[in-house]
């Protein structure tokens, strides 16, 4: 306040105009733009060789920027069957058992914008756990992971899920994987096996049998090719590049 008193009228007007312009610029910046510039590298931890951001650190960062932000764990209604066979809602719970496992959902609201994320409770191999084996401890952990992912949708640490280690403000674009070469495709085709005759056989061997006049191999390949476009593509690739084997010289 004292500093303002020492300003002349023109200096005060200039300062007010500068402050107003600054506020306008800040207002134009979206939540995503602001959060995507936050460098989370110092907060990243590793587990099973994967990078992750703890929910406490992620939420703390967001609250330091947007104090009014809040999050919510979804509540799912659940029902019980009465004696007369009618299903009646008994209440709600913050997880949903399904035939695939247990689903949870977290959402975060920042400046009126809501982002949400659903996750299944997974084991240490990142496989969905059967509902009967899931505990409340694992459910709670998954809810917090869903919260961090919802924050990523809002912009915070999204680069972690993209396999990067730098925030988006540094404009680091991951390199595209090089296109598979013809030689690599040929090696893959030579190693491809198919369930045939009670065991696994090389696709090149079965095509070779067909080319030698084996009727069983011919009928099998007709059915197999119709099952999937990829099977048809492999079959044509083997014939086009003369890779058929089984007692035959490659290229015969």
User: Per-residue pLDDT tens for 26-56?
Assistant: 556 789 999 988 888 888 887 766 777 889 9
Greater confidence, 179 or 60? 60
Greater confidence, 172 or 8? 8
d(CA 114, CA 70): 10
What is the pLDDT, as a whole number, of residue 200? 82
What is the pLDDT, as a whole number, of residue 53? 86
pTM assigned to the model: 0.54
CA distances from 204 to 184, 194, 217, 233 (A): 16, 10, 11, 13
Banded model confidence at residue 101, pLDDT cuts 50, 70, 90: very high
The whole-number average pLDDT for the span 67-91 is 89
DSSP line for 192-220? -EEEETTEEEEHHHHHHHHHTT-HHHHHH
What is the pLDDT, as a whole number, of residue 249? 44
Greater confidence, 29 or 96? 96
What is the pLDDT, as a whole number, of residue 83? 83
User: Per-residue pLDDT tens for 200-244?
Assistant: 889 999 998 999 888 988 989 998 888 888 889 999 999 999 898
Least confident span in 14-23, 152-161, 178-187: 14-23
What is the pLDDT, as a whole number, of residue 48? 66
Q: Which of 82, 92, 148, 91 is nearest to 115 (CA)?
A: 148
Strand-pairing partners, residue 138, are: none
d(CA 66, CA 151): 12
DSSP line for the chain? -HHHHTS-HHHHHHHHHHHHHHHHHHHHS-HHHHHHT---GGGEEEETTEEEE-HHHHHHHHHHH-TT-EEEE--EEEEEE-TTS-EEEEEEES-EEETTEEEEEEEEEETTEEEEEEEE-B-TTS-BPPGGG--HHHHHHHHHHHHHHHHHHHTTTHHHHTT-SS-GGG---PPPPPPPPHHHHHHHHHH-EEEETTEEEEHHHHHHHHHTT-HHHHHHHHHHHHH-HHHHHHHHHHHHTT---SSS-TT-
What is the pLDDT, as a whole number, of residue 187? 87
What is the pLDDT, as a whole number, of residue 171? 43
What is the pLDDT, as a whole number, of residue 7? 66
- Whether residue 2 is predicted with pLDDT greater than 50 in this model: the reply is no
Q: Position of tokens 């809602």? A: 89
Q: Which of 171, 160, 139, 143 is nearest to 33 (CA)?
A: 171
Banded model confidence at residue 165, pLDDT cuts 50, 70, 90: very low
- Whether residue 168 is predicted with pLDDT greater than 60 in this model: the reply is no
d(CA 151, CA 54): 11
Q: Which of 180, 182, 189, 184 is nearest to 208 (CA)?
A: 189
């Amino acid at each position: 306040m004292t500093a303002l008193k020492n300003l002349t009228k023109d200096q005060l007007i200039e300062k007010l105009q500068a402050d107003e312009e600054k506020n306008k610029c800040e207002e134009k910046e979206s939540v995503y733009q602001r959060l995507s510039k936050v460098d989370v590298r110092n907060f990243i931890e590793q587990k099973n060789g994967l990078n992750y951001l703890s929910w406490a650190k992620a939420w703390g960062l967001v609250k330091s920027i947007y104090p009014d932000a809040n999050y919510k764990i979804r509540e799912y209604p659940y029902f019980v069957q009465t004696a007369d066979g009618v299903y009646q809602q008994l209440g709600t719970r913050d997880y949903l058992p399904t035939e695939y496992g247990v689903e949870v959902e977290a959402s975060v609201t920042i400046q009126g914008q809501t982002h949400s994320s659903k996750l299944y409770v997974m084991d240490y191999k990142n496989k969905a756990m059967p509902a009967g084996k899931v505990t409340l401890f694992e459910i709670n952990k998954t809810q917090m992971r869903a919260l961090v992912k919802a924050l990523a949708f809002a912009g915070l640490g999204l680069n972690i899920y993209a396999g990067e280690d730098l925030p988006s403000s540094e404009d680091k674009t991951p390199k595209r994987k090089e296109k598979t070469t013809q030689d690599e495709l040929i090696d893959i085709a030579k190693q491809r096996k198919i369930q045939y005759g009670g065991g696994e056989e090389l696709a090149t061997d079965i095509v070779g049998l067909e080319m030698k006049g084996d009727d069983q191999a011919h009928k099998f390949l007709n059915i197999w090719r119709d099952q999937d476009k990829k099977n048809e593509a492999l079959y044509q690739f083997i014939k086009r590049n003369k890779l058929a084997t089984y007692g035959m010289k490659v290229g015969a």
